[in-house]
Amino acid sequence: MSLLTILHHPDPRLRQKAQPVTVFDAALQTLIDDMFETMYDAPGVGLAATQVGLALRLAVMDCSEDKDKPQPMVIINPEILDPDDRVEMEEGCLSVPGIADKVQRYNRLTLRAFDRNGQPFELAAEGLLAQAIQHEIDHLDGKLYIDYLSALKRERITKKLAKARRA
């Protein structure tokens, strides 16, 4: 396994719209393992393929509260059904390091996706897991959570991170 490089905002590759995964082969399994290793190393609760420069509709997540009991989860070609109960949640992102802010998310939803072997599944999610699913699907659509903040806040964050990249 190997660690992948996580792209940071304002890298334009984070704005790509990802394409559906159609082949569930050995190369995909290696990519998924590398994405898990990269996410746990960061550490973070989710990592989308677009964050490592691959425009594929794939993300890995682990929203377990107890780090001794990991709950690795792979979502491929994910869709959200029946989103409900909009609430304000604190959010951060590995591609927007060192920054967190509050955004509106649905507290409950049903996820429809494929697992790493190409098997379809549905899952009822709420709280942190529901939030992470929305966050990761946004990545696959080329969106970042900072897009929901005011233009002024977003501009401040972009300037700060652009400066950090040059340093």
Tokens of 70: 């990991």
Distance separating alpha carbons of residues 139 and 6, to the nearest angstrom = 13
Closer residue to Zn ion in complex, CB, 109/137: 137
Which residues within the stretch 35-94 sit at the binding site for Zn ion (CB under 5 A)? 93
- On the question of a cis peptide bond just before residue 83, with omega within 30 degrees of 0, the verdict is no
Distances (CA, A) of 52 to 27, 28, 100, 109, 127: 15, 14, 20, 26, 26
CB of 163 to Zn ion, least distance (A): 20
3-state secondary structure 71-135: CCEEEEEEEEEEEEEEEEEEEEECCEEEEEEEEEEEEEEEEEEECCCCCEEEEEEECHHHHHHHH
CB of 139 to Zn ion, least distance (A): 6
Instruction: Report yes or no: 49 and 137 within 8 Å, Cβ to Cβ.
Output: no
CB of 92 to Zn ion, least distance (A): 8
With contacts defined by CB under 5 A, how many residues of the chain interact with Zn ion?
A: 1
Closer residue to Zn ion in complex, CB, 93/125: 93
CB of 27 to Zn ion, least distance (A): 24
Closer residue to Zn ion in complex, CB, 37/118: 37
Q: Is 91 a catalytic residue?
A: no
Distance separating alpha carbons of residues 39 and 45, to the nearest angstrom = 7
- The residue sitting closest to Zn ion, measured at its beta carbon, is 93
Closer residue to Zn ion in complex, CB, 116/135: 135
Which residues within the stretch 84-123 sit at the binding site for Zn ion (CB under 5 A)? 93
At 13, which amino acid appears? R
Residue from 37, 65, 91, 136 carrying the catalytic annotation? 136
Positions marked active-site = 136
Q: Which residues bind Zn ion (CB under 5 A)?
A: 93
